[in-house]
Amino acid sequence: MKHFQIPGYADVSLQNRQYFDFYKKQLGSLPNLYAMLAHSDTGLDAYLRFHDHKQSLTIPEKEIIGLIVGTVNQSVYCLETHVMIARLNGFTDEEIREVKGGSARFNERYHALAQLVFNIMSTKGHPASTQLEVFFEAGYTNESLVDVMLCIGDNMITNLLSCTMQVPSDFSPGQV
């Protein structure tokens, strides 16, 4: 199987170097997944513009989606990242395990979201009408549903890339 190297600063386009500089200043280094996107002269910029768009979902809601999509796709890299961010946003390890299984009984609204996302992923985009009803009854809107789909798509991109290119972890063993 082909081995994919993480490109370094000198290996990427001038446009991508701005992201290496930004993330080095903000985080100490560019996450490995973003570096892999920099194999394309425009891929990293295109992805980050999509990823950073304004939307109606909260950070915890986006992490619920990320945890479920990463679990279904068995994306180790993405799961490590979403577990870390979920913890930073107040989720306990027990809640994270529950979300990865497609539920969130600790919060009614999150539970409706988790069940819908798990159902969408399990049925390849053909959710049960009852799941949609529960989602809307929990206070979500059509805008929310569109944003859920965009967030699933965002996570699918990174899951597929991380699995296909075997992106190595950004964390030390046992850190997450």
Q: Per-residue pLDDT tens for 54-85?
A: 999 999 999 999 999 999 999 999 999 999 99
Give the pLDDT band of residue 176 (cuts 50, 70, 90).
low
CATH of the domain at 68: 1.20.1290.10
Give the pLDDT band of residue 90 (cuts 50, 70, 90).
very high
pLDDT at residue number 74: 97
Q: Note whether residue 123 is domain-resident.
A: yes
- Asked whether residue 129 falls in the same domain as residue 100, the answer is yes
Q: DSSP for 125-166?
A: S---HHHHHHHHHTT--HHHHHHHHHHHHHHHHHHHHHHHTT
Q: Per-residue pLDDT tens for 117-171?
A: 999 999 999 999 999 999 999 999 999 999 999 999 999 999 999 999 999 999 8
**Does this model's pTM top 0.85?**
yes
- Asked whether residue 24 falls in the same domain as residue 107, the answer is no
Q: How many domains does the chain have?
A: 2
pLDDT beyond 70 at 173:
no
What's the whole-number mean pLDDT along residues 99-108?
98
Nearest to 155, CA basis, from 92, 74, 39? 74
Tell me which residue range forms the domain holding 99: 59-164
What's the whole-number mean pLDDT along residues 4-9?
96
Residue 149 to residue 49: CA distance in whole angstroms = 16
Residue 101 to residue 119: CA distance in whole angstroms = 11
Nearest to 107, CA basis, from 167, 60, 40? 60
Nearest to 132, CA basis, from 110, 152, 117? 117
Q: How far lies 135's CA from each of 11, 108, 114, in Å?
A: 45, 10, 9
pLDDT at residue number 1: 77
Q: Note whether residue 170 is domain-resident.
A: no
pLDDT beyond 70 at 174:
no
- Asked whether residue 71 falls in the same domain as residue 155, the answer is yes
pLDDT at residue number 171: 87
